[in-house]
Structure formats: structure tokens, C-alpha cells
Homo-oligomer: A and B are copies of this chain.
């Protein structure tokens, strides 16, 4: 549409200049060039300057393929995630890319689309690409972790994050979900709640099991017997959150607080509570999990738990680099559990500092 500027007549495909070209031009050997460029010790400062100047002049770019082939190791880190969408994985990937590039690595990313076979193929591809290490968050359909053994067999550094296999013989970075459930519940207690319900997630997934566990632990420590009626299992959707709330409010003794294992179910619950004329947080306090973007714009804003996505990515890279640097030296698999951060917002803070309320304990 706009002005046709001076357009190159033909995209005169310039060949990249190689070390051999520089060597020829300077009348020295390739070895010298290589040494100058890689800042080797046995090289004269004068020679080095000459080489660097010429390299700059011709805008020399090292061929990383050749280098990696020769050295047997690339500067690439492979990532396998179920998908790149929503809030969680993109943020983790963001953290990974940032930490990796700071350390001089680049990142090649694959999606498994929650499919084990795709995950297997991704592994093969990354092995073929001679990556220096692999970061994986397993697909939902990955029941056995045997395909990761071939990676191990190659002696290739491997670190799992978030969706990790059980056991302590793998490197893994996870969020401490139990702690998340624990601090959330303790917070609700501190606000004066005495009948705290829990909207649980699918219990075959560790994260939800652990959040429930933390909830139980907090109640136990507070000397409260858990009321199984107050634990409702959902698929974590907004709809089922609302349904669960309906069910809870219909109880003879309805809860005065709800800890949901996810933000969407928390949202559904909050909307349902208000629909039924309950005030949030005065009549019923609510807290969620994941720090979804929308939790800041609900009215009231939603108390939630931040999952430290970026930190998880960075921690995974750090661990991977440790393994890489260990080289062939024996490395004992390490597990890292990140401490979640409770974000206290409007949906759970009752006006009066609620300590005295402990009097009317159930």
C-alpha cells in the first residue's frame, strides 16, 4: 500500500563467512582464528585484535551446528510441556527462557498436547537435536515414565517440573501444594471462620490431593475434626464450584468459609453465594488457588495462592545446569519444593480483626 522504498533488486544471498575465510584473508591458520575468537590463552594480543577486527568487519557468525557437532554438546535446552496456553505454562516457560538465555543457552520448545506418544516423539526429536538437557512437565496421559529411561541412559540431564513422576530418583521441581492448602486454611481460620468447607479437585492428581491434605492438616492443628460433609469434590470448573456452593449452603449448618483448590471453582462459589444473598466475606469467606488474572478484577477481589510459575522455571533451569555441570560425576537426584505465596484479598478479609470470634467455637 505505502511507498515503495528502494527495494533490493535481488535479495543477493550473501554467504556467511567462515573461520576459513578469515584465516585466508589474514594469511594465518584456522587454528589461530579459532583461538582468537574463543579467547584461548595461547594467542598474542596483537594477533587477537587483528582477528577480532576482521571478524567484526565481515560480521562473522560462528556456526553453532559445527561447534556443537564437534564438541558433542549444543547450547540448546529442550522443553516439553503439555501445551502453551493458559496462565501456568507460559509463565513457567517465560522463567525458563529467561534463566536459560542468561546462562548462554537457548530453548527449543515442544508440546505434547497431553499425549504420551507425542511426548515420546518429542523426546526423540530433542535427543536428535543433541540438546544439552531436557525439562519436562508430563502429559496427563503419561502413566509410566519408562520412555524417560532412554534419556537417562544417554546420560542426558533431565529435570521434571510441576507434573513429575513419583519417587525420589528423579530431578524435580514442584510447588508445595500441601503448604498452599495449609496456609490458605490457616488464613481463613485466622479470620474467624470455624466451619471451613473445601472444594477439592480430582484426587488422582497429586496437586489436588496435596491441597486437601494441607487443609486437613491445618484443621487438625487447630483441634478441629474435619466434617466430611464440607468436602465437596469437583472438576474444578466454575459451574461445579457454583453447584458445590449451592449444596453447601443447603446444609443445616452451612460453612462460614470455603477454600477452593482452584480459582474457577472459587469464582463459581462466590457468585453462587452472592446470588443467594450471602455477603462475601462477611457471611462466607472464600479463597482460591492459582492466582489467575481474573482474581484481581472480581468484586470483591479473590484471595488466592500464587504458584510461583516463573520461579519454578528458573529453579528448573538452575537444577538442570547443576546436573549439566556435574558432567559424568555421580549426581544424586534432587527434589525442589517451592513455597507458594498466599495473596490475601477482599474475599477473605473480615473487617474486624477476628481473633475474639474464637469464643463461639463450634
Contact = CB atoms under 8 A, between A and B. Distances in A.
Interface of A: 1-5, 7-8, 10-14, 16, 59, 61-66, 68-69, 74, 76, 83-85, 89-91, 93-94, 97-98, 101, 106-111, 124-125, 127-130, 150, 152-155, 166-169, 238, 267, 271, 292-294, 297-299, 328, 330
7 contacts: A3-B167, A13-B153, A14-B155, A61-B127, A63-B128, A84-B90, A292-B293
Contact of A128 (B1, B5, B62, B129): B62
A110 B97 contact: yes
A317 to B, nearest CB: 14
Nearest to A271: B299
Quickly give the copy total for this chain: 2
Contacts of A330: 10-11
Given A1-B168, A153-B14, A107 B108 contact: yes
Given A101-B110, A111-B101, A267-B297, A11 B152 contact: yes
Contacts of A168: 1-2, 4
Contact of A69 (B10, B63, B98): B63
Given A128-B63, A130-B65, A154 B13 contact: yes
Nearest to A2: B167
A7 B65 contact: no
A90 B130 CA distance: 26
